[in-house]
Amino acid sequence: MSKYTVAVLMGGQSREREVSLASGSMVVEALISKGHSAYPVEITEKGVWWNRRKQFPGTIPILESIANALDPVPDIVFIALHGPKGEDGTVQGLLEIAGIPYTGSGVLASALGMDKYRSRLIFQECGLLVPPYIMIEKGDPAWEKLEEARAKFGMPLVLKPNDSGSSLMVTISPSFEELERGLKEIFSLSPKALIEKYLPGREITVPVLGNSSPQPLPVIEIVPPGLFFDYRSKYDGSTKEICPARIEGKAFREAQEIAVKAFRALGCRGFARADLVYLEGRIYLLEINTIPGLTSESLIPKSARVVGMEFPDLIEKIVDLGLEEV
């Protein structure tokens, strides 16, 4: 295949910044190992783009920093950002305007994937099963919403921000006081949250690769040390990640089919990962991650390895998919 110049975007301004830096660094190494000319571009916490191969210019207008950082002009930008201002369509829109190809989903799919409430409306319209939930906005009467959720769903309840990843700020609790504290934390950064029925099933996830003909990778079963797959257990090595998942063949295939349907429903491309819960013979779709992690602890590389695709091959495949429709 051709060899490309690839700028790898990492860092960013979200709370998932450190995970992004780890993902991006591994992506650069993988691309170089495959013979590509890859260089890291870090987005600082202030939004400045910094080409690590150059002397950091200090204070510089953001638009000027972008032009300075993308030098040499890449054939494609590999987006290894996570969370708001990176995974939500904003950077994708900027690159669209600049006419620079990039990896992963486009503006609309990225924005929808980050918005749990709106993506679930689409999933439900497509006949996909999601956990029962209530959306709560900043300024709504918290106790009334929690009482409504308790009456509908029972206890404990699950609380999560509408537009964040890596299980940041997720609370599972039977305590209204603890849930209210969780809401205050969420609303300090985001205007919306979801209150969900707790589903005590098996957590599973399915990576998907492709553009017009997306294909699922093997299902992964996630066995966290605690009540759920929280931010700490995602990255500290304490969670068991079993691939292929220990579920019967029919459920295995159904999980893969749901992941592909969700991928298509949002209009994703390149790669993504669907998070699901398997409970009493039913599979509930939680969300689609349009830029899942690519660290040594991440799930997509582990699933890809089961089908003989090592990490550098996976990263190169994602680049190929990013250039496929250019």
Q: What are the residue numbers of the active site?
A: 16, 166, 235, 273, 275, 287, 289, 293
CA distance 231 to 46: 24
End-to-end CA gap in the chain: 16
Q: Angle, nearest 10°, between helix axes 311-324 and 17-33?
A: 90
Q: Give buried/exposed letters for 74-103 (b at 16+ CB in 10 A, else e).
A: bbbbbbbbbbbebbbbebbeebeeeebbbb
Residue from 300, 137, 308, 148 nearest 219 by CA: 300
Phi, psi (rounded to 5 degrees) for 36: -85, 160
CA distance 205 to 223: 11
User: Which residues, 6+ apart, have CB-to-CB distance to 230 below 8 Å?
Assistant: 167, 170, 224
- Please say whether the beta carbons of 50 and 65 come within 8 A: yes
Question: What tokens were used for 109?
Answer: 């799919």
CA distance 90 to 54: 25
Beta bridge partners of 171: 159
CA distance 274 to 292: 10
CA distance 146 to 174: 11
Q: Give the position of tokens 């349907």.
A: 261
For the range 234-239, what are the long-range contacts, defined as Cβ-Cβ under 8 Å and sequence gap of 24 or more?
A: 234/166, 234/167, 234/293, 234/297, 235/19, 235/295, 235/297, 237/297
